[in-house]
Amino acid sequence: MVRFEDISSPARLAEPDEGIGPDELSLAARNHGLPLEGLRYSLTPPGMHYVLTHYDIPYVPDDTSWELTVGGHVEHPLCLGMAELRAHHPVTTRVTMECAGNGRALLSPRPVSQPWLLEAVGTADWTGVPLRALLSEAGVRDGAVDVVFTGADHGVERGVEQDYQRALPLDTALGHTPEVLVAYAMNGAPLPPQHGHPLRLVVPGWYGMAHVKWLRDITVAEEPFTGFQQTVAYRLRQEPDEEGTPVTRIAPRALMIPPGFPDFMSRSRVVSPGDVLLEGRAWSGRAPIIAVDVSTDEGRTWSPANLEPPTDHRWAWRHWHVTWTATPGSHVLCARATDAEGRTQPLEQPWNRGGFANNLVQRVPVLCAEPD
């Protein structure tokens, strides 16, 4: 008899003084973030892009026998090989992707899960077939409500054995701007194994959980999808028994490349007195970023940073910079993004039990050393 309760624990919050345990450490060792100095690249080198995988990375050394099925409530179910998918008109979109749990380990109380600090983000050029084209080939029948995406990875989570599955409402699947992609390339090369080789979904502007990797099936459903990753995980809840609201689009965030040089263990920063370039990236999956403000006194006063003008890549982060004249002593630097619909980053933690969509402003403690 398989007893999942022996190996699979329920969601919980850490005790007030509880450190990161072996379970969280084993997740953190598998799922790496973007080293923040990697924010210098407008397009993240693939090995630097953050990775989050709930179960195991499927082994697909050769994609020639990979099949994507499209079925459910459609006129003509499809079964497509990689060559057929590549023969479709390709679309490339530059997308900043962020894990919904980014910032979780900084919350108090801390939801026990993948313990991200702030680095669960990356930007890539994703190339593939518009989902809309595949759904139109299959012919969605009247009465469809959701489109369910299934990955080839399998596991157990809080006692529930499952394939990784997520759904999009049909109107999002068909009407999303820019198009949702069934992607087979990242930065012009086949997807790396950890990013979904050979196929993944890309939903520009949405948190990472929607971008189903190792995509093997698309099913059009007449009933709302109630799978684990849709109705149990990835919901904003204050209490465990609440229905909660779904996690969808990325809240605005600015991150700063920590300036100067780090201490090995504490990663505290050291800068020299004088002019210091403060720079980073800002993004939002809701409305375009219109401002980034920087504080060098822990959020008491703010001044505007120079924001890179809008580019053709609306769904990618934008660079910002400002010069700071550092004076000897300890400082806490912060950056805060605001989007065109007036959303900005809070100074108090936005808390929910999953630790999702938390865009609390970053704090970067810096020691400015006296000259010798």
Ligand X SMILES: Nc1nc2c(c(=O)[nH]1)N[C@H]1C(S)=C(S)[C@@H](COP(=O)(O)O)O[C@H]1N2
By the 8 A CB rule, do 182 and 199 touch?
yes
Residue whose pair of structure tokens reads 């997807």 in the numeric block: 191
Tell whether residue 208 is a contact of Mo ion (CB under 5 A): yes
**Which residues touch 179 (CB under 8 Å, ≥6 apart)?**
91, 93, 130, 131, 132
Provide φ and ψ at 80, rounded to 5°. -115, 135
Select the span of 205-213, 263-271, 345-353, 356-364 touching ligand X (CB under 6 A). 205-213
- Cβ proximity to Mo ion: between 204 and 208 the closer is 208
Provide φ and ψ at 155, rounded to 5°. -165, -170
Exactly one of 39, 44, 49, 247 binds ligand X (CB under 6 A); which one? 49
Tell whether residue 360 is a contact of ligand X (CB under 6 A): no
- Cβ proximity to ligand X: between 233 and 292 the closer is 233
Separation of alpha carbons 178 and 284, rounded Å: 14
By the 8 A CB rule, do 118 and 99 touch?
no
Positions 124 through 153 that interact with ligand X (CB under 6 A): 151, 153
Preceding peptide of 258 cis, ω within 30° = no
Select the span of 20-28, 48-56, 79-87, 320-328 touching ligand X (CB under 6 A). 48-56
- Cβ proximity to Mo ion: between 237 and 319 the closer is 237
Separation of alpha carbons 335 and 330, rounded Å: 17
Tell whether residue 53 is a contact of ligand X (CB under 6 A): yes
Positions 40 through 59 that interact with Mo ion (CB under 5 A): 52
Select the span of 20-28, 51-59, 289-297, 313-321 touching ligand X (CB under 6 A). 51-59
Structure tokens at 99: 């894990």
By the 8 A CB rule, do 318 and 283 touch?
yes
By the 8 A CB rule, do 337 and 294 touch?
no
- Cβ proximity to ligand X: between 211 and 269 the closer is 211
Distances from the Cα of 102 to the Cα of 12, 114, 142, 251, 275, angstroms: 17, 9, 38, 11, 31
Tell whether residue 99 is a contact of Mo ion (CB under 5 A): yes
By the 8 A CB rule, do 135 and 69 touch?
no
Positions 84 through 103 that interact with ligand X (CB under 6 A): 97, 99
- Cβ proximity to Mo ion: between 123 and 338 the closer is 123
Min CB(94)–ligand X separation in Å: 15
Tell whether residue 195 is a contact of ligand X (CB under 6 A): yes
Min CB(174)–ligand X separation in Å: 21
- Cβ proximity to Mo ion: between 196 and 258 the closer is 196
Report the interface residues with ligand X, using CB under 6 A: 49-54, 97, 99, 151, 153, 164, 195, 208-209, 211-214
Report the interface residues with Mo ion, using CB under 5 A: 52, 99, 208-209
